[in-house]
Amino acid sequence: MSTPALSTVQYVILCCLAWRGPQTPYQLKDYIARVVSWVWDFPHTQLYTEPPKLCALGLLREDREEQGRRRRTYTITEEGLAVVRAWLAEPPTKAPQIRDLGLLKLHFSAVSEPEAVRRLARSQVEVHTARARSLAAALAESDADPAHRRYVRSGGRYGLASEELSVAFWRDVAADPERCAEAARRGGATVEPFRPSHPASDIPDG
């Protein structure tokens, strides 16, 4: 048996409902935008189109308000919970993907002026600083109900470290694109990983 393999977005929806109890699409949207989007983002419209499909598969149940906004509230079924557990238990088959226009543009920046590279780097410092801040904020809220959330903060700590690394890297590029390229060129066939030159964690607060 087993359901015909769901999309990742569908699994995310199931997980959120398994995790936080019955929710409306809007509540899901809120949580996902704040907490999950760091690692898997998608537009809110899918939160309205996917749950009905999951209902048809018997993985969710829908209750609808009679009055006012006629909100739909979705609840995970036993069968849905089993699907979630099975999915979590199997190691991922697809490789992790990064889609980072900043890194992509840097890669091809040999045809750019150094000044353009510097602008790029500065914009990325902003972007990653903001990401670090919003992730930290989301994690701070996860203070409540510590037993249930177990690994949320564990992954969050990785996220913070990763954003910190990005900020340090782009600062380095912004400071001097040419020197930075030069440093990377040394060593011939062996390339050293980037190491922040300053002690970590000087990302300014809110």
Residue 15 binding partner per list a copy of itself, DNA, none, with a CB distance cut-off of 5 to 8 Å that depends on partner kind:
a copy of itself
Q: Which does 155 bind (CB under 5 to 8 A by kind): DNA, a copy of itself, none?
A: a copy of itself
Considering beta carbons, is residue 74 or 169 the nearer one to a copy of itself? 169
Buried b (16+ CB within 10 A) or exposed e, 20-57: eeebbbebbbeebeebbbbeeebeeebbeebbeebbee
First and final C-alpha spacing in the chain: 50
Q: CA-to-CA distance for 187 and 180, rounded, in angstroms?
A: 14
The residues near 149 (Cβ < 8 Å, ≥ 6 apart) are 142
- Beta carbon of residue 203, minimum distance to a copy of itself (angstroms, whole number): 9
H or E stretch covering 44: none
Binding to a copy of itself (CB under 8 A): which residues in 82-111? 84-85, 87-89, 91-111
- Indicate the residue among 65 and 101 with the shorter CB distance to a copy of itself: 101
- Applying CB under 8 A, the span of 21-29, 45-53, 59-67, 148-156 interacting with a copy of itself comes to 148-156
d(CA 80, CA 11): 10
Q: Which is nearer to a copy of itself, 71 or 201 (CB)?
A: 201
Which residue from 19, 48, 87, 194 is in contact with DNA, where contact means CB under 7 A?
48
Q: Which of 68, 187, 188, 204 binds DNA (CB under 7 A)?
A: 68
CB of 44 to a copy of itself, least distance (A): 16
What is the spatial distance between Cα 198 and Cα 34, in angstroms, rounded to a whole number?
30
Q: Which amino acid, one-letter code, is at 85?
A: R
Query: Is 167 one of the binding residues for a copy of itself (CB under 8 A)?
Result: no
Q: Which does 49 bind (CB under 5 to 8 A by kind): DNA, a copy of itself, none?
A: DNA
